[in-house]
Amino acid sequence: MSETSLSRRRAIALAGIGVTGIAGAAAVGGAVVRGAGKDDLQGDLAAGAVPFTGEHQAGIVTPAQDRVHFVAFDVITKDRDRLTGMLRDWAAAAARMTAGRDAGEIGAVGGVPEAPPDDTGEAIGLPPSGLTVTVGFGPTLFRDAAGSDRFGLAALRPAALADLPRFPGDALDPAISGGDLCVQACANDPQVAVHAIRNLARIGMGVVSVRWSQLGFGRTSSTTRDQATPRNLFGFKDGTKNLKAEETDRLRDHLWVQPGDGPDWMTGGSYLVSRKIRMLIETWDRSPLAEQETIVGRRKGSGAPLGKQDEFDEPDFAAVGADGEPLLATTSHVRLAHPSHNNGARMLRRGYNFVDGSDGLGRLNAGLFFLAYQRDPRTGFVPVQRSLARSDEMNEYLRHVSSGLFACPPGLSGPDDYWGKALFAQAR
């Protein structure tokens, strides 16, 4: 029997278990290897599968993977049924890919020679690699830039999905901002993340068109207590105060949309703000260590707030140095972003570093691709960014070049569910 027929037969057998079954089995340490018909399960957790279905979408409190491929789409069809049909197809493909299988039922090499394969093939032999696929709806899906309610959804737009205000210093490029839909594919192998986006974009041709996309590496936030706090390209630990998966009460208060917050279709979902923040690397690199630490408000080595010993010590905003000045400058990042200065605002940050090669002046075209999930951006991202945009010393080294806002609905319940099913069911 050929390898191909082996793997196909196995795919059918696994499909019988149901999506959660596969994911559950993989989550305890096994990993399904796609395509090539290997039967050895790998023990490596980073290679394992993350359950695709559940109360909330995966890819939010999931331990942050190493890589992201994020894409924003414009919807180009006027036909609502085609759009929901595509979301259904996406859900089926994502269920397969997150379980380490090919995007389509036939697979990368299982079909007839005359047909283009229904999977693009670059993930053959790779494990699921913790792939998550998270989908969100932008404000323009509900009412487009021309004011048109293309899909009868305008009345269902949550108040929390209010267009972000313009912040001082914004240098946003409309071509890489916004979008009707977004897909965040995170994985511990960049090839697996790219494979997921590429196949979803292909499935969507004629219905959606890629507006912009971004690759990121080296997660800049930890989303569980087990993960060490990673560093951004300024060389500082980033996300020490992040919301963590274990903080159930805080997640309820700050991350997940609760019953009564707005339209029911978003209950259990979360709002995503994306910001591509270019870092002016070269000038930062030649600023003195003391200045860097003053700007951030933390030690570069340990990540401890200035005046404290340990990374997780609470910053003391009242502490004053020998010169009578506050130890934590009033313009320091840690002070301006702290919940105590923003009416308790907290977000779950899930950003990634990016390097898009170099610019024409030989400078690294690099920075932070900031991704943050929250219960309501109006009390989350907006006040924090207002505070930062106004006063943060770090702004001298930053440019916000892209911005996105998306309503990410709750998790999918099973094979018949798809993103926004409850939303589209109420469309007029």
Partner 1 sequence: MRTPRILALTAVSVLSAGLAACGGDDTGAGAGTDGPIAVQASDTSCAVARNSADAGTNVFAITNSGSKVTEFYVYAPGDRVMAEVENIAPGLSREMHVELPAGTYETACKPGMIGKGIRSAFTVSGSSAPLTDDAKLADATASYQRYVKSQTGALLTKTEEFVAAVKANEVAKAKELFPISRTYWERIEPVAEIFGDLDPKIDGREEVVEEGMPFTGFHRIEKDLWGSGDVSKDGPIADQLLADVKEIVAKANAEKLSPLQLANGAKALLDEVATGKITGEEDRYSHTDLWDFNANVEGSKAAVASLRPVLEERDPALVKTLDTEFANVDAALAKHRKGDGWKLHTELTQADLKALSDAINALAEPISRVAAVVSKK
Of 13 and 115, nearer to partner 1 (C-beta) is: 115
3-state helix, strand, coil in the chain (%, to 5): 30, 20, 50
Beta strands in 167-259 (DSSP E): 181-187, 208-219
Does residue 174 touch partner 1 according to CB under 8 A?
no
Q: Which stretch binds partner 1 (CB under 8 A): 203-211, 224-232, 285-293, 329-337?
A: 203-211
Cβ partners under 8 Å of residue 373, min gap 6: 60, 255, 270, 271, 272, 347, 348, 350, 408
Minimal distance, residue 69 CB to partner 1, in Å: 19
Stretch that binds partner 1, among 142-150, 204-212, 217-225, 410-418 (CB under 8 A): 204-212
| Site membership for partner 1, residue 81 (CB under 8 A) | no
Distance, in Å, from the CA atom of 91 to the CA atom of 101, rounded to the nearest integer, reads: 13
Q: How far apart are CA 264 and CA 258, in angstroms?
A: 9
Span of 37-45, 107-115, 125-133, 301-309 interacting with partner 1 by CB under 8 A: 107-115
Instruction: Return d(Cα 119, Cα 409) in angstroms, integer.
Output: 27
Nearer to partner 1, 88 or 202 (CB): 202
Out of 24, 111, 307, 383, point to the residue binding partner 1 (CB under 8 A): 111
Q: How far is the CB of 215 from partner 1 (least distance, A)?
A: 21
Q: Which is nearer to partner 1, 117 or 235 (CB)?
A: 117
Can residue 386 be called a binding residue for partner 1 (CB under 8 A)? no
Does 92 engage in binding with partner 1 (CB under 8 A)?
no
Show the CA angle centred on residue 247, arms to residues 303 and 334, nearest 5°: 30
Q: What is the DSSP letter of 229?
A: P
> Rule CB under 8 A: is residue 319 a binding residue for partner 1?
no
Q: Label residue 76 exposed, middle or buried (CB < 10 Å: 0-12, 13-18, 19+).
A: middle
Listed residue (229, 234, 252) closest to 349, CA to CA:
229
Q: Given the rule CB under 8 A, which of 111-119, 294-302, 367-375, 394-402 is the region that contacts partner 1?
A: 111-119
Residues in contact with 41: Cβ distance below 8 Å, sequence separation at least 6, in sequence order: 29, 30, 31, 32
Residue 187 vs 203, nearer CB to partner 1: 203
**Total interface residues for partner 1 by CB under 8 A:** 11
Measured from the CB atom, the residue of 114 and 416 that comes closer to partner 1 is 114
By CB under 8 A, residue 114 contacts partner 1: yes
Residue closer to partner 1, measured from CB, 366 or 401: 401
Q: Please tell me the distance from the alpha carbon of residue 171 to that of residue 400, in angstroms, as a whole number.
A: 6
Q: In whole angstroms, how close is the CB of 383 to partner 1 at the nearest point?
A: 35
Cα distance between residue 177 and residue 158, in whole Å: 20
Q: What is the nearest approach in angstroms of partner 1 to the Cβ of residue 175? A: 8
Shortest CB 115 distance to partner 1, Å: 3
Q: Which is nearer to partner 1, 114 or 249 (CB)?
A: 114
What is the distance between the alpha carbons of residues 24 and 13, in angstroms, rounded to a whole number?
Answer: 16
Nearer to partner 1, 112 or 290 (CB): 112
What is the binding site for partner 1 (CB under 8 A)?
A: 76, 111-112, 114-116, 202, 205-207, 209
